[in-house]
Amino acid sequence: MPRPKSLTTTALAAAALAVVDRDGLAALSMRAVAAELGVGTMSLYRYVADREELEALAVELMLSEVDVTTPRHALWDKQLAVLAERVRAAVGKHPNAVPLTMAHRHRSQGLLRWGEAVLAVLTRAGFTGTERAIALRALLSHVIGAIELEHGSPLSGAGTAAMAELGAEFPLMAETAAAARGIDADDEFRRGLGVVLRGLRRP
């Protein structure tokens, strides 16, 4: 009987992301990843215990190359903007996997490194305790929410066009949707991030 091919955790993670990218998060399973790799399902259990471990590997691969260094002489809000842009770029390549980032935030070394870098910037800016915790969560909320909106409900999509035609019953929604159709995803992210960062600034 031929010996099962040797796998690496990187190969497992890449296969898991391929399944999620193509078929959605609900399709991720040991069987699906094994099929992606061209091996028997049972052979995966030599490397991971279950789907949860596959998810964690996928998140780690997704975030493994995020640069967490910051521009040394930039103001703190500019440093946070750089870190936010980088994690958006990495996670935005795999929008179907966005829910996994928060589900595995406690075990992903990549996300922990990013969070540590954000907290270091906030600490140097004078944030401590609950204020710092809220600031981190506010930044995460914008990044994750913006990615989900960009890919699941883009301003350029049919939903915005339909709302622009609502007319007299919802006049402000119609007017706002009409204006929103001209906003591209990058501009939406950066201007929204600017709102968050201005809200974090102290008087």
C-alpha to C-alpha distance for 72 and 82, rounded to whole angstroms: 12
Q: Can you give the pTM of this predicted structure?
A: 0.89
Reading the block at residue 167, the tokens are 């007319």
Give the chain's length.
203
C-alpha to C-alpha distance for 64 and 61, rounded to whole angstroms: 5
Domains in the chain: boundaries? 9-63, 76-200
Tens digit of each residue's pLDDT (9 = 90 or more) over 153-193? 999 999 999 999 998 899 999 999 999 998 999 999 999 99
What is the CATH number assigned to the segment(s) 9-63? 1.10.10.60
C-alpha to C-alpha distance for 146 and 36, rounded to whole angstroms: 30
pLDDT of residue 5: 56
C-alpha to C-alpha distance for 136 and 141, rounded to whole angstroms: 9
CA angle, residues 19, 103, 99, in degrees to nearest 5: 50
| pLDDT beneath 70: ranges in the chain | 1-5, 202-203
Task: Choose the CATH number for 76-200 among 1.10.357.10, 1.10.3720.10, 3.40.50.1820, 1.10.357.140.
Answer: 1.10.357.10
